Structure 1
């Protein structure tokens, strides 16, 4: 009770979640009288970062910085427009397609919303789309980032679960594509409801120019996914390769990046990475305390008493994750949930860890656009100058679509595991 009360108090005063987790571990140690655990506290704190897979995290953040500086996102937007610009609501579909291409590079919802709100929303407004609807489509496209590889959430989950991150990336491909198709259906419905305009037809020469101009940018997702699927590089190595390609393309092909942008990109990536890595280190200490208290075993016995069905277990877990996602960001939620529920899922219910990871990451992604915390929602509202509550209402059809896909993945695990078997 002391730990739970302290946690709620720290959240109430707005304490950073990383400090809250570390303090909770200390509070438990002193409250329980097990002060001998203090000797292992620094070791556990450092041990949370002692994993090779975590190197991929700052490298993918760095890749996003280089992409933003090099004009790569705008070319991917133009590429999508070359193929989909003429149909009714073409710019809305272009926005979604560009989001999917950006998702295959950035892996971060907040970064993706920030970039795409600058690229897509002004163009959609000029073409006659309502600003709030344009921003809602852009924000919804950000939901693809944590699922389509590479994914920051997958990297963190893979590190905690101690499973190959490359295989986890593969597990996210089919669910990501299903969500993409579901979002196309939602946009078609919105287009009918809001009478989306048609764009001017592009000439063949314009299409060829857009494709040719985007080819260097397309090297980045090809390098990431191709090197991992081909067994040529680990996710960490693929991020380094893609970052080098982004520098070369930005400096020498598009010439929008300057040498002075490189140190700035490293500094920005370093600050963002430090915040995430400290959170992971603090959560490792907290997970250590939970394990010491034998909480996974207690949860396992409780869940077994409630149901013997893996599907019912996942459905119950999804309800818990939806509630948790409303009050905290996905990264700390994953760090809190996985050490407790993964042993139960795999050991008691025989659920594949890759399937479990896709379900957890997809569910917690919704929390990025859900009040009251909803980092992505408030970033989108700020970038689009739209009221957050209005944006949340417009996002409701996309939420329903993701929930439907989530239910599909829960019932049919092969959607997230079949590709892994084919690639091995």
Structure 2
């Protein structure tokens, strides 16, 4: 059955169908093969509907809506200006500012693609003017945006938390350490790159300018305070935090900054609705497919065939890292999380791995895959936004991918990078 389902999905993908179609068709074919017909089709439909029923998923459209409001408003520009005022003058400071801005906006949006748009649009022209090559600039933007998948609120972590029945609040706080680690590693690389290529520095901002920039950015900086402080202060749940973020974004952009008008609400709501519909259809289809392969015990057969069950905790983590990375080079990250997480669930349980650690590693790997050729989704977002050819977008990515793999290796060797803050807050 496994070979048949994979062939069906591969053929449909090659024919150009969107990912939801191969998932649904494969689930239906698998159902027919397992149950001998369509007489109990309502069972599969119930499984698919059950996939989008968890209350935690309400946070997904809320965070998408909040990110859309802020991307169209002034929040991203104010955060970028503050970062630039403090570190723009050091060697490689402009590139480091870009990576830092991606981290800060990731703490606001939780979306890699929103971060590519919000940070890349204003900073790419500045990087090019300063002498950075376009290949380096594009690679920096799409790979630094990966940090948005780790820093809370992370849409990827929400999906994993629902699928793996793991605390989303614990996943959120566990992603902070790895996110900051990657920021430091990227910053070191940017510093070396700037020195090797003898790139000029920006004018140093005075303390008055820094004070003004910080004051202007205080309102946008309220988002991570709301999310992290509210959740871990016991004020509200991650889902409630998402709703509060939407309200805060509306107040910020429509009332305080006055960067948006009432007429913009329709366009923002329409955009959010379209993205949410795609996400939830993928979640439903992925849930149905995962149920079918679990019912047929395909995951256990695959793991036994490759010997993962006998590999031990480190071996399982390595296998997870490789599998999720390769899959996200070709398929949307949400689909990969939905399909592969149940496959590795038996091995994770048998080896006693912490599901929060596994969630952080999976989130990191899907983020890396999202920015990796041939079909990483962030690559095509950059192509669409910056109007640059495919080869130019991917040419500068190898050094960043190596850095991200090094970060993944460090997390496997030193799990406390991810678990320290979690243990501090919950143990």
TM-score, normalised to structure 1's length?
0.95
Query: Gaps (5+ residues) in structure 1?
Result: none
Query: Is 1:372 aligned to residue 384 of structure 2?
Result: no
Instruction: State the partner residue of 1:393.
Output: 395
Larger deviation, residues 403-412 vs 55-64: 403-412
Which of 341, 349, 357 in structure 1 is aligned with 2:344? 341
Give yes or no for the alignment of 1:75 onto 2:78. yes
C-alpha separation between the residues in 1 aligned to 2:308 and 2:65? 46
Q: Does 2:154 correspond to 1:146?
A: no
Q: Is the 8 A contact 2:106 2:115 kept in 1?
A: yes
Partner in structure 1 of residue 106 of structure 2: 103
1:309 maps to which of 307, 312, 315 = 312
Structure 2: gaps spanning 5 or more residues: none
Which SS does the other structure have where 1:67 is aligned?
helix
Q: Distance in 1 between matches of 2:294 and 2:93?
A: 52
Moved more, 367-376 or 175-184: 367-376
Kindly report the root-mean-square deviation, in angstroms, between the aligned alpha carbons of the 2 structures.
1.7
Matches within 5 A, 1:400-411: 400-411=402-413
- Does residue 258 (structure 1) correspond to residue 261 (structure 2)? The answer is yes
1:222 is matched with which residue: 221, 225, 237? 225
Does the residue aligned with 1:148 lie in a helix, a strand or coil?
coil
2:170 aligns with 167
Residue 57 (structure 1) aligned with residue 60 (structure 2): yes
1:123 aligns with 2:134: no
Q: How many equivalent residue pairs?
A: 423
Cα distance in 2, alignment partners of residues 263 and 385 from structure 1: 27
Per-residue deviation, 1:203: 2.1
1:134 corresponds to which residue?
137
User: Match for residue 319 of structure 1?
Assistant: 322
Match in the other structure for 1:196: 199
> Are residues 99 and 279 of structure 1, via their aligned partners in 2, closer, same or farther at CA, if it must alter by over 3 Å?
same
Distance in 1 between the 2:309 and 2:257 partners?
59
Matching residue of 1:286: 289
Distance (whole Å) between structure 2 residues aligned to residue 324 and residue 117 of structure 1: 26
Aligned counterpart for 2:29 among listed residues 18, 27, 30? 27
Cα deviation code 1:128-152 (max 9, x no counterpart) = 4333322222122111011111101
Match of 1:354 in 2: 356
Q: Report the counterpart of residue 42 of structure 1 in structure 2.
A: 45
Deviation per CA, 1:100-147: give whole Å up to 9, x if none.
100101111111111212121122233343333222221221110111
Aligned partners of 1:369 and 1:376 also within 8 Å: yes
Following superposition, the deviation at residue 56 of structure 1 comes to 0.3
| Kept after mapping to 2: 8 A contact 1:303/1:313 | no
Name the residue aligned to 1:18: 20
Deviations 1:204-243 (A, max 9, x none): 2211111111111111121111111211111111111111
